[in-house]
């Protein structure tokens, strides 16, 4: 135990002497710089190896933090995309509805009569009939037999009225018929439904009648059911059978029977004669009261 003391002191003295010598050489000679550079080449890999775990931890933390941020941003962007898609769909619906209302508004300018707008709320599921329900009823003044139009032509007529709703029979229904006249020459006929939404048929047209493909068929106002002058259909096909007295004539409805939802209910206007009679009766009643 006592013998280790002189050896320890000797080592310390040697270390101090070497240190003093190196300091002297470093101060007076440049060769020590080369030695220091050489040693740095050996020490640098060791230092890098020692700092590697710390650098890996920092890199991993930074990488995972950026990944979490990217994932969160991705989820947020996906949510925004869904919201924007929903808004685009709503805008498309509103745009289509706006176009339908514009067409309907344009139609009201052509029809010089009192009217009320209506919306289709359901379709009769019976495959053998073509009927719809609208959101107008007796409280709106709707009556049985009232003409119903869309933006392009005659849609049908009211056949049943409730307080808040009404049932409409489409012109294409097999039980529907409307008196029409050819707009070009005034020739009158009856246009009946066939059960096909795209086909109407003219009844009892003589084989020699002046009618052409493309002729516009309008309501004639006869029978007092439909007001005069509303477009109904366009002639699509004419067939002549030898020996048959009547031609087979098919027409296409102008109303968009399978697509229209916005409709017009047209109120019949009193004729001038009826208005005059009503005025005369009122004046007569007033005269009797004065007497």
Give tens-digit pLDDT for 182-233: 999 989 999 999 999 999 999 989 988 999 999 999 999 887 788 888 899 9
CA angle 232, 235, 240 (to 5 degrees): 140
Q: Which SS3 state, helix, strand or coil, does residue 216 take?
A: strand
What would the mean pLDDT of 19-28 be, rounded to a whole number? Answer: 67
Task: Give, as one character, the DSSP assignment of residue 39.
Answer: H
DSSP H/E element including 109: helix 31-110
Give the pLDDT of residue 142.
Answer: 95
Give the pLDDT of residue 96.
Answer: 67
CA–CA dist 167, 156 (Å, integer): 10
Give the pLDDT of residue 4.
Answer: 53
CA–CA dist 123, 156 (Å, integer): 13
Confidence band, pLDDT 50/70/90 cuts, at residue 80: confident
Cβ neighbors of 194 (< 8 A, separation 6 or more) are 172, 174, 200, 201
Contact of 201 with 217, CB cutoff 8 Å: no
Higher pLDDT, 195 or 102: 195
Q: From residue 159, how far is each of 109, 129, 223, 224, 267 by CA, in Å?
A: 26, 13, 16, 15, 15
CA–CA dist 183, 185 (Å, integer): 6
User: Structure tokens of 216?
Assistant: 């516009």
User: Residue 278 above 50 pLDDT?
Assistant: no
What would the mean pLDDT of 109-126 be, rounded to a whole number? Answer: 82
CA angle 106, 213, 187 (to 5 degrees): 80
Give the pLDDT of residue 287.
Answer: 41
User: Residue 83 above 50 pLDDT?
Assistant: yes
Q: How far is Cα of residue 267 from the mean position of the Cα atoms in its chain?
A: 31
CA angle 180, 184, 187 (to 5 degrees): 45
Confidence band, pLDDT 50/70/90 cuts, at residue 16: confident
Confidence band, pLDDT 50/70/90 cuts, at residue 276: very low
Predicted TM-score (pTM) of this structure: 0.60
Angle between helices 4-28 and 31-110 (to 10 degrees): 70
Confidence band, pLDDT 50/70/90 cuts, at residue 36: low
Contact of 219 with 111, CB cutoff 8 Å: no
Tracing tokens 């009261």 back to the chain, one arrives at 289
Give the pLDDT of residue 170.
Answer: 97
Give the pLDDT of residue 89.
Answer: 65
User: Residue 24 above 90 pLDDT?
Assistant: no
Tracing tokens 């309907």 back to the chain, one arrives at 104
Contact of 263 with 134, CB cutoff 8 Å: yes
Q: Mean pLDDT in the chain? A: 79
Give the pLDDT of residue 39.
Answer: 62
Give the pLDDT of residue 137.
Answer: 96
Of the chain, the percentage scoring pLDDT greater than 70 comes to 67
């Amino acid at each position: 135990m006592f013998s280790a003391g002189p050896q320890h002191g000797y080592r310390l003295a040697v270390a101090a002497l070497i240190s003093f010598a190196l300091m002297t050489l470093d101060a007076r000679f440049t060769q020590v710089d080369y030695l220091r550079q050489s040693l740095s080449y050996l020490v640098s890999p060791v230092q890098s190896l020692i700092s590697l775990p710390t650098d890996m931890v920092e890199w991993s933390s930074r990488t995972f933090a950026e990944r979490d941020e990217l994932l969160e941003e991705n989820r947020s962007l996906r949510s925004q995309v869904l919201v924007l898609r929903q808004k685009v769909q709503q805008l498309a619906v509103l745009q289509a509805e706006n176009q339908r209302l514009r067409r309907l508004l344009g139609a009201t300018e052509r029809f010089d009569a009192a009217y009320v707008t209506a919306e289709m709320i359901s379709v009769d599921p019976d495959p053998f009939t073509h009927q719809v329900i609208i959101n107008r009823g007796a409280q709106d003044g709707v009556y049985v037999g009232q003409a119903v139009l869309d933006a392009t032509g005659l849609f049908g007529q009211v056949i049943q009225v409730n307080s808040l709703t009404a049932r409409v029979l489409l012109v294409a229904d097999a039980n529907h018929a409307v008196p029409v006249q050819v707009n070009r020459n005034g020739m009158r006929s009856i246009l009946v439904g066939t059960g096909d939404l795209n086909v109407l048929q003219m009844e009892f047209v003589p084989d020699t009648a002046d009618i052409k493909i493309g002729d516009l068929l309008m309501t004639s106002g006869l029978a007092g059911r439909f007001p005069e002058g509303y477009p109904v259909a366009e002639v699509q096909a004419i067939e002549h059978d030898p020996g048959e007295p009547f031609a087979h004539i098919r027409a296409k409805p102008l109303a968009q029977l399978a697509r229209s939802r916005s409709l017009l209910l047209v109120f019949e206007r009193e004729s001038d004669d009826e208005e005059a009679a009503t005025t005369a009766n009122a004046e007569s009643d007033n005269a009797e009261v004065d007497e």
